[in-house]
Homo-oligomer: A and B are copies of this chain.
Amino acid sequence: MPSPKPKRRPSRRAASPRPSPKPYHHGDLRRALVDAALHLAAAGAEVSVREAARRAGVSPGAPFRHFPSRDALMTAVAAEAQRRFRSEIEAALAAAPSDDPLAQIRSLGLAYLRWAMKNPAHFEIISTGKYFDHDAAGEVSKDNAEIIAVMARLLGEAAARGKLRHGDLKRTQIAARALVYGFARMLIDGHFPRWGIAEDEVEPMAEGIVDLFIDGIAK
């Protein structure tokens, strides 16, 4: 991952000869904290408010001017990750043949798994229910609901064309989601070594289970 280094943004107007190394007003501390948290997570570290503050060059109390709690920060981080996740999935769907719903479902599943494999820590932040207990996380829910809606539409089209063996679309959709969610989670939770699956076998296996599932539901 090419880590976009902490951008020292030019101060808002005329830059003073020597830009102060620790400006009193940060400019966009909120954004800097979210970025720091994303980098911490991607590096495999625990995300702490204090460490994010350190990375942003501010005092331990400063983040609480922008987020009422650690959970609120993590919710913002999750929203950003979910946004990236969704946009990658939509790109994959756009590249798939638009007249074949099962092929589109396959693309959706593969894009889902590929993103999770490339961004395991961010996937975990999106997935785990530790933050935003209710669905107070409007943005996260919205982006997720969008993916759910796309999948529902694709399943509906497939059913309309007589391509599905099973009539209960909701059940089919939950099973599909459980499959990819479970695979991604097993990866993140470190189960594959115990299953004798080496790192370079994960991606082919991901493809394999998507195909196996689609074969199973297709008529």
On A, residues with C-beta under 8 Å from B are 127-129, 133, 135, 141, 144-145, 148, 165-166, 168, 171-172, 174-175, 177-183, 185-186, 188-191, 193-195, 197, 205, 208-209, 212-213, 215-217
Contacts and interface: CB of A to CB of B under 8 A. Distances in A.
Contact of A179 (B172, B178, B215): B178
A209 B171 contact: yes
Q: How many copies does the complex hold?
A: 2
Contact of A216 (B178, B185, B208, B215): B215
Chain B CB count within 10 A is highest, among A166, A180, A209, for: A209
Given A129-B188, A183-B182, A166 B215 contact: yes
Nearest to A190: B129
B189 A128 contact: yes
Q: Main SS of chain A's interface residues?
A: helix
Nearest to A196: B170
A172 B179 CA distance: 12
Nearest to A144: B194
Contact of A135 (B178, B186, B194, B217): B194
A130 to B, nearest CB: 8
Nearest to A141: B194
Contacts of A197: 174
Contacts of A182: 177-183, 185
Given A190-B129, A216-B215, A216-B217, A179 B175 contact: yes
A139 to B, nearest CB: 13
B179 A148 contact: no
B194 A183 contact: no
Contacts of A208: 168, 171, 174-175
Contacts of A195: 148, 174, 177
Contacts of A191: 127, 129, 181
